[in-house]
Amino acid sequence: MFLSRPFIRNLPNSRSYSDFVKVVEVGPRDGLQNEKKIIPTPVKVDFINRLSETGLQVIEATSFVSPKWVPQMYDSAEVFKQIKKVKGVNYPVLIPNAKGLEKAIEVGAKEIAIFSSPSESFSKKNTNCTLSENMERMKEIICLAKKSDLTIRGYISCIIGCPYEGSMKPAVVAALASALLDLGCYEVSLGDTIGVGTPKKVKSLLSEMREVDDLSKFALHFHDTYGQAIGNTYTGLDEGIRIFDSSVSGLGGCPYAAGATGNVATEDLLYFLHEQGLQTGVDLNKMVQVGHFISNQLEKKNQSKVGNALLTKETLKKVCV
């Protein structure tokens, strides 16, 4: 399997990092997938269109999975067809198999995301196949995607810990990331799915990742189950990561990871990054408005501390327009 190959490469040793951070918004997919209240298609379209006006460069729009397993994604094709595609914004979609890829190509998707995990148990729960079987499935998807000139992003779940197997070994995660890059992923997002990461653990993992490739190839995807997401983000920044996934209003969770809460809130991430003097190109005030909009639609409390702190009567009026 992927662990049999060497993955150490000759890399530059530089601590000169960019002041620009790319924020990948995953709210419409990772954020909504675990919500029990089914959101109507027009609301999802409006949600994504609002996000498109904030300055984001990447918005993960939906997932072409079976609605039997993820009911919220029942309308993925209609959502993708109806959203306004803003110039300069990418709208990747998550793909579990060749059938999902076929549907994505039919609606004109330009970028896909594929996913794996270093945990055998999580793989069986999440993809209904073993790690080896999932690797073969990804190879098939990537081969077909390349024929259609699609760009491919990779996801690795449970990079720190798994709800079934406990702690994950950094070397195993690194080997899997190396395999995804070799298969053709331009970028690999490293996901702390159950939110058990700490700065020490994140630093240890990134030390292994540096042996795989330049850290510019990797994103960090933190869930905030234990309130460690911003601290972990700081560690990632200090190590050189400049791509972070987040979900507006702190939406999220995983159907196959009991107890896992939402992603780090995009509003909280933006406030932190901007106060550190870093650039994102994203308007925080507009993002706050979107966070309150989708929270109202879901009839649930906004999980973003910054979003709630910046809430004003004027903001509420704009949300309700």
Residue 274 sits in a domain of what CATH number? 3.20.20.70
**Domain count of the fold of the chain:** 1
Q: Residue 166: inside a domain, yes or no?
A: yes
Q: Residue 9: inside a domain, yes or no?
A: no
Query: Which are the catalytic amino acids?
Result: 254
The residue ranking higher by pLDDT, 163 or 126, is 163
Q: Residue 1: inside a domain, yes or no?
A: no
Q: Residue 23: inside a domain, yes or no?
A: yes
Q: Residue 290: inside a domain, yes or no?
A: no
Q: Residue 143: inside a domain, yes or no?
A: yes
Mean pLDDT estimate for the chain: 90
Q: Residue 203: inside a domain, yes or no?
A: yes
User: What is the share, in percent, of the chain residues with pLDDT greater than 70?
Assistant: 89
Confidence band of 13 (pLDDT split at 50, 70, 90) = very low
Q: Residue 318: inside a domain, yes or no?
A: no
Confidence band of 12 (pLDDT split at 50, 70, 90) = very low
Domain around 108: 17-282
Q: For the full predicted model, state whether its pTM sits above 0.85.
A: yes
3-state secondary structure string across the chain: CHHHCCCCCCCCCCCCCCCECEEEECHHHHHCCCCCCCCCHHHHHHHHHHHHCCCCCEECCEECCCCCCCHHHCCHHHHHHHCCCCCCCECCEECCCHHHHHHHHHCCCCEEEEEECCCHHHHHHHHCCCHHHHHHHHHHHHHHHHHCCCEEEEEECCCCEECCCEECCHHHHHHHHHHHHHHCCCEEEEEECCCCCCHHHHHHHHHHHCCCCCHHHEEEEEECCCCCHHHHHHHHHHHCCCEEEEEHHHCCCCCCCCCCCCECEHHHHHHHHHHCCCECCCCHHHHHHHHHHHHHHHCCCCCCHHHHHCCCHHHHHHHCC
